[in-house]
Amino acid sequence: MSSKRVVVTGGAGFIGSHLCARLLSENYGVICVDSFMTGSLDNIKGLKKNNNFSLIIHNVSQNINIPGKVDYVLHCASLASPKDYLDFPIQTLKVGSLGTHNALGLAKEKRAVFMLFSTSEVYGDPLVHPQKEEYWGNVNPVGVRGCYDESKRFAEAITMAYHRIHKVDTKIARIFNTYGPCMRRKDGRVVPNFINQALENKALTVYGNGKQGRSFCYIDDLVEGLYRLMLSKVNEPINLGNPRESTVLQLAKIVIKLTNSKSKIVYKKLPQDDPRQRQPEISRAKKFLKWEPKISLEEGLKRTISWFR
Q: Is 17 left (phi over 0), alpha (psi -120 to 50) or beta?
A: alpha
Q: With beta carbons less than 8 A apart as the criterion, state whether 265 and 249 touch.
A: yes
Burial class (CB in 10 A: 0-12, 13-18, 19+), 179: buried
Q: Could you confirm whether 162 is annotated as catalytic?
A: no
How far is Cα 178 from Cα 216, in angstroms, rounded to an integer? 6
Work out how close the CB of 125 gets to ligand UDP at its nearest, in angstroms, rounded to a whole number: 10
Residues near ligand UDP, by CB under 6 A: 82, 177, 189-190, 193, 205-207, 212, 214, 248, 271, 274
Nearest approach in angstroms of CB 179 to ligand UDP is 8
* Alpha-carbon gap, residue 29 to 114, rounded angstroms: 16
Cβ distance to ligand UDP smaller for residue 113 or 147: 147
Q: Give the CA radius of gyration of the chain.
A: 19
Q: State the first-to-last Cα distance of the chain, in angstroms, to the nearest integer.
A: 37
- The single residue of 72, 85, 148, 179 carrying the catalytic annotation is 148
Q: Which is nearer to ligand UDP, 56 or 203 (CB)?
A: 203
Residue 115 vs 248, nearer CB to ligand UDP: 248
Closest approach of ligand UDP to the CB of residue 68, in Å? 37
Least Cβ distance, residue 208 to ligand UDP (angstroms) = 6
> Amino acid identity of 122?
V
Query: Across-strand partners of 171?
Result: 115
Q: Which residues are catalytic?
A: 148
